[in-house]
Amino acid sequence: MTRPWLLRDRRGAFGVLILIVFVACAIAAPLVTNGEPTVQRDIVATRFVPPLSRDVNGVFHPIGTDRFGRDVWTRLVYGARVSMGVGVLAVLVAVILGVVVGALAGYWRGPLSVALLALTDFALALPRVVLLLLLAALWQPARATSCPTRSRP
C-alpha cells in the first residue's frame, strides 16, 4: 500500500500543517486570543510586556505587548483573519474574471477571441510594479491612500 502523495514529501506536509494551523487560528480568533485587537488597557502598566509573561492585571501575553499596551498575539491573529479574507476575495475575483473572459473567447471565436487573447497577454506581460506605480501616480494622496508620517507638513 502506498502513502498519499502529500505524506511522501515531508516539507510539503509541514507547509500544509502550518497553513491549517493559521487558518484554524484565524477562524477561532475569539477563542485563542485575549480579546479585541484594538483595545488599549492601562498604557503605562501594560506597555512593552515581554513575551511569555503576564502584565500587572494578570493577563498572559504569549508574544508580549506593543508601546500602546495592545497584545501582539491578538493583533497578529486578527490580522491573519483580515489577510486571509482579502486573499480569498482576490482569488474569487480572479477566477470569475478568468472564467468570463475564457467563456467569451471560446463562445465567440474570431476577432473577439483574438482581442481578448491580446488583452490577456498584455496584462500578463506588464510588470506589476509598473502598474502599481502608475496607479499611485494617478491617484492623488488622500487619507485612505497614504500613510501618515511626521515629516509631512
Grid cell listed for 40: 488599549
Measuring CA to CA, which residue among 24, 32, 29, 73 is closest to residue 51? 73
* Contact yes or no for 105/117 (Cβ under 8 A): yes
* Structural element, H or E, at residue 92: helix 72-107
Residue 149 has pLDDT above 80, yes or no: no
State the pLDDT confidence band at 14, using cuts at 50, 70 and 90.
very high
State the pLDDT confidence band at 127, using cuts at 50, 70 and 90.
confident
Measuring CA to CA, which residue among 11, 10, 71, 68 is closest to residue 43? 68
